Amino acid sequence: MDAFLITSVFLFVLFFAIFLKEWYRYTVERQKLIHHVHDLTGRRTYDIRKPETASQRMLKRLLRYGDDYAALGQRFNFFSESHEVEDWLLKAGRPLDLPVARFQGVKIVLTLFGFIAGIFFFLLGFPLSQFGLVVWPLLGYFLPIIWIKKKAIERQNQLRYDLPEFLDTVSVTLQAGVSLDQSLREVIKYFDGPIREEFSRFNQELDLGVPREKAYEQLLRRNDNPEFQMLIKALIQGMRLGVPIAVTFKAQSENMRRIRKELVKEKAAKASPKVTLITTFVVAPTAIMLIGGLMVLNILENVSVFKDLFR
C-alpha cells in the first residue's frame, strides 16, 4: 500500500510539473501571437462583440441540435431560401452566431416540437386541440423566420436612430484635423449597438488589408437602411472624386436629421386615423353600452318602486 501511495504521489507531481511547463509554453506563445497581431494591425483589441450571458450560451448549445437537421431544412425551404436567410442574418447582425445551415435545421427541430406538442394537447383533450395538430407545427416552422426578420428590422431602426449623432461627432473630429480611420476608431468607443459593431468590423477589415472600397461594399451588403446606404455611397463617391470627408459627413448628418423629422411627422400623421378608428369602434360603443346599461337599470329600479307603491 505504501508503495502504491508513493507511486501515485510521484506520478501526480510528475504530471503536474508537465502541466505547468506546457501551460507556461502556451502563455508565452499566446503573448507572442498577440504582439505579432498588434505589430501588424496597430491595435490590441477591437471590442466588436459583447460578452455573452449565461442564457445566450445555453441557447446557443440548444440551437446546435439544428445541425443534425440542416440538410433536411435546406430542402424544405418554403418562405426561407438560403440566400434570403443569409441576407436576414447579415442585417440582424448574425445573432447567436447562427449560420444558414443551422437556422434551416432549427426550423425543422421546432416543427417537430410543435407536432409533438399538438399530439400531447390532443391526447389530453384540450379544446380545439384537433386544430393544434396543424397550428403548432406551422408555428414552430415560421417562428424562427418571424424572429430573425424582427431582429433585422430592430437593428436597422437602431442604426437609423444612432446615425445622426455619430455623424456629428465624426464630423467634429474630422474638422479638428484627425484622419477618418483614427476618427472612427475613437468615436465608436462612445457608441453601442449596430453603429459600433459595423464600424469596428470595417476598421478590422482595413487593418487586415481589405481594400477600402471593398470594405464599404461589405457595409452596404450588411445593412439596407436607406440613410446608412446614402452615407456609405456618399463616402465612396467622395473617395473617388476627392471630396473632403468632413464636408460629406456634415452634409449627411444634416440630411439625416431632416429625414428623421419627416419620419416623425409621418408617424404622427398616421397615428391620427388609428386613434379615430379606436375611438369610433371601441371607446364610443363601450361608452354607449355603459350609459344604456345604467339607464336600463334605473328604469327597472323605478318600475319596481312603482309596483310597490300600487300594491
Q: Is residue 180 part of a domain?
A: yes
Q: 153 pLDDT exceeds 70?
A: yes
- Asked if 152 and 168 sit in the same domain, the reply is no
- pLDDT for res 51: 64
C-alpha cell recorded at residue 256: 439625416
Cα–Cα distances in Å, from 298 out to 135, 295, 305, 306?
48, 5, 11, 12
254 lies in some domain: yes
Across the range 59-75, mean pLDDT stands at 85
The whole-number pLDDT of residue 109 equals 92
Q: Are residues 148 and 69 in the same domain?
A: yes
Q: Is the same domain home to 252 and 171?
A: yes
The pLDDT of residue 113 is 92
Task: Looking at the structure, tell me whether residues 256 and 211 fall in a common domain.
Answer: yes
Mean predicted lDDT score pLDDT of the chain:
81
- Tell me how far apart the alpha carbons of residues 24 and 90 are, in angstroms, rounded to a whole number: 40
Domain's final residue, options 246, 263, 280 = 263
CATH at residue 168 = 1.20.81
Residue 116: how many other CB atoms lie within 10 Å: 13
Residue 89 lies in a domain: yes
* C-alpha R_g of the chain: 31
Higher-pLDDT residue of 109 and 259 is 109
| 117 and 211 share one domain | no
pLDDT tens digit string along 110-148? 999 999 999 988 888 888 888 888 899 999 999 999 999
In a domain, 272, yes or no: no
Q: Do 98 and 82 have their domain in common?
A: yes
pLDDT tens digits, one per residue of 7-44: 777 777 888 888 888 888 888 888 888 777 666 655 55
Would the pLDDT of 6 be above 80?
A: no
Q: Is it the case that residue 95 has pLDDT exceeding 80? A: yes
- pLDDT (mean) for 171-177: 81
Task: Say if residue 177 is in the same domain as residue 140.
Answer: no
pTM of the model: 0.68
The answer as to whether 271 is a domain residue is: no
Could you read off the pLDDT of 252-305 as tens digits, one per residue?
Answer: 777 777 777 777 777 777 777 777 777 777 777 888 888 888 887 777 777 655
Note whether 95 and 121 are same-domain residues.
yes
* Structural domain harbouring 123: 54-157
Task: Indicate the number of domains in the chain.
Answer: 3
The pLDDT, as a whole number, for residue 64 is 85
Q: Are residues 67 and 150 in the same domain?
A: yes
Residue 244, domain member (yes or no): yes
Q: What is the reported pLDDT for 150?
A: 93
90, burial (CB in 10 Å: exposed 0-12, middle 13-18, buried 19+): middle
Q: 199-236 in b/e burial notation, b at 16+ Cβ within 10 A?
A: bbbbbebbbeeeeeeebbebbeebbebebbeebbebbb
What's the CA gap between 300 and 293, in Å, rounded?
11
Helices and strands of the chain, counted as H and E runs: 12, 0
d(CA 162, CA 209): 28
Is position 208 within any domain?
yes
Once rounded to an integer, what is the mean pLDDT over residues 180-190? 84
Domain boundary among 103, 134, 157: 157
Query: 202 and 257, same structural domain?
Result: yes
Domain boundary pick from 244, 263, 282: 263
Q: Same structural domain for residues 37 and 81?
A: no
How many other C-beta atoms can be found within 10 angstroms of the C-beta atom of residue 139?
Answer: 17
Cα 257 to Cα 191: distance, rounded to the nearest angstrom = 18
| Count of Cβ atoms closer than 10 Å to residue 71 Cβ | 12
pLDDT tens-place string over residues 189-217: 888 888 888 888 888 888 888 888 899 88
Would you call 244 helix, strand, or coil by DSSP? coil
Look up residue 196 and give its three cell numbers: 459600433
Residues 151 and 168 in one domain: no
Has residue 78 been placed in a domain?
Answer: yes
